[in-house]
Chains A and B, each alone.
Chain A
């Protein structure tokens, strides 16, 4: 597994939003690769470019946004150069997405079963009945209670957890090699969150899909990730294995994020929660140097003037920070 071909390889991706006063970047110099069976987490606050990255991976960016440069390769094939037909053939079949809000992401006037079957029929040469049977199978796979009956119900008739299961079943319908999950548990109760995360992890192990999971929740990261990419203001600031991230975080932003999560050590809450002072700078008005410098407790004059490169600090551990420069 370790050295398998990446299922998805993104290199030097730049996404920009075209506004009235010209274009400004929302994702800059993004590179990542995911191998079959691997889960990569994209972590960051809202507005840091996580969701834009995810949407660009399916070429589903809103009209106002566009990929300015870079490449996306799916199983070695250049996804950005494909014609519309081929892109549509890939979507749902090779690469699928689990969206954040299952209530709004599912069509309110079609039954769950119809919506899953529709995807099956788009990509497989099967009849209506067979596609519906496949939909019921998928619902069974995601442990939907009473899948036969639920398949005939509409989204508003299901609970939040069941809707998210249906959403996952929809993504799995054609057994895609790559799954992108955009905050799949944010809209759910904590107990249901744990169930859904367990389900996603379990299915991924069984089916061997390559998975990108987008979250702002470090608890989710610890639960499910193999590797983690931390993003800030549209750029990667740190990338390493999940163990390395929690044992030895390098970037002050990552450290700040961890301070904002309650930790329990030896059964008691170990320290007061801390927050990161200030807010994310607007993407159309980024500071000249490191985007995090204005909020960084250890920022130097250099940080404000020059942007630190994203480089390997220790083997397998990348960060963009002028500190730790010599390993």
Chain B
């Protein structure tokens, strides 16, 4: 087990290197120049050229890539061109918000997806089944920014129940506050995260619900489910303990992959809800052509995604005794 984890962690290194090269290549291909953005439209060509020289942007690509790798090996992601701050510091300041949003969205997606999937499967062909699958179809096909705006319109503007934008106190701090007698802080954090998390979760919830439904329908036909009934177990227990546990195995690996989709979706969700996370930062960085910052963010996303999938693979071995890692 430990050897397996170490090997997977070592595999992160070539993956990250590949990621850096691909991002670097893409940034070479897209038009736009940080120097002209920085100096504005009225800047003289000489001034722009001077700045490009100062930023090292006129060096050949292999020298720039090599320099980036050299710094990266020392744990240095470079400095942001626009914010005059180390990229690692900027990312560290924003990472918490994005992880929080993605994790809450993932929990929501699992809760909604699994519940809908199980209900639909156990009442196959009923109105509830159809309704759940219509919801799933909507969730899959509705883009996150569109859903986000609709939610905001309904719950924030029309009903006024929830705040439309911004973030409350970070959850770890909010929990501490709640424990020391100020539950209002936690409530405020919840009310802020609810809309963006739901908008972000909808797509994954829909996909998970369809998967769970299919897997459940298959498992409910298995012999061991019949054995469970033959033992005299109640229907609820058979469905949860015997059928669902087996149906979740194929879903688990998909949940890991969905986390990647959630990080991607966070870019749009955060911009709509003014959520101060990495997603919002990504949009700013790309529009400014802040190359080191873009590189740093992409690298961070890639590593988080890889780590989450490692955790999922480990969980897999815990949940399914037939799987041996090695």
Contact = CB atoms under 8 A, between A and B. Distances in A.
Interface of A: 58, 60, 88-93, 96-97, 99, 101, 104-110, 118-119, 122-123, 154, 156, 170
8 contacts: A90-B232, A91-B231, A92-B230, A93-B232, A108-B321, A108-B322, A109-B322, A119-B233
Interface stretch (B53-61, B64-72, B181-189, B221-229): B221-229
B231 A99 contact: no
B262 to A, nearest CB: 27
A170 B224 CA distance: 12
Contacts of B229: 58, 60, 91
Nearest to A111: B321
A154 B246 CA distance: 14
Instruction: Report, nearest first, the 4 A-B pairs whose CB atoms are least far apart.
Output: A92-B232, A91-B232, A104-B223, A92-B231
B89 interface: no
A113 B126 CA distance: 37
Contacts of B94: none
B319 interface: yes
B232 A107 contact: no
A27 to B, nearest CB: 18
A107 B230 contact: no
Interface residues of B, number: 21
Contacts of A170: 227, 231
Given A91-B230, A107-B242, A119-B231, 11 more contacts: A92-B233, A97-B227, A101-B223, A105-B223, A107-B228, A108-B224, A109-B320, A122-B231, A154-B322, A156-B321, A170-B227
A60 B233 contact: no
Nearest to B245: A109
Interface of B: 222-224, 226-234, 241-242, 245-246, 249, 319-322
B233 A88 contact: yes
Nearest to A90: B232
Contact of B230 (A60, A154, A156): A60
Contacts of B230: 58, 60, 91-92, 96-97, 99
B322 A156 contact: yes
Residue among B223, B224, B226 facing the most chain A CB atoms (10 A cut-off): B224
Given A105-B226, A108-B322, A109-B319, A118 B231 contact: yes
B245 A88 contact: no
Nearest to B228: A107
A97 B228 CA distance: 11
A89 B234 CA distance: 9
A101 B223 CA distance: 8
A154 B229 CA distance: 20
A156 B324 CA distance: 12
Contacts of B233: 88, 92, 118-119, 122
Contacts of B234: 88
A123 B246 contact: no
A175 B130 CA distance: 43
Given A109-B245, A109-B320, A154-B322, A99 B232 contact: no
Nearest to A114: B241
Given A109-B246, A109-B320, A60 B231 contact: no
Contacts of A109: 245-246, 249, 319-322
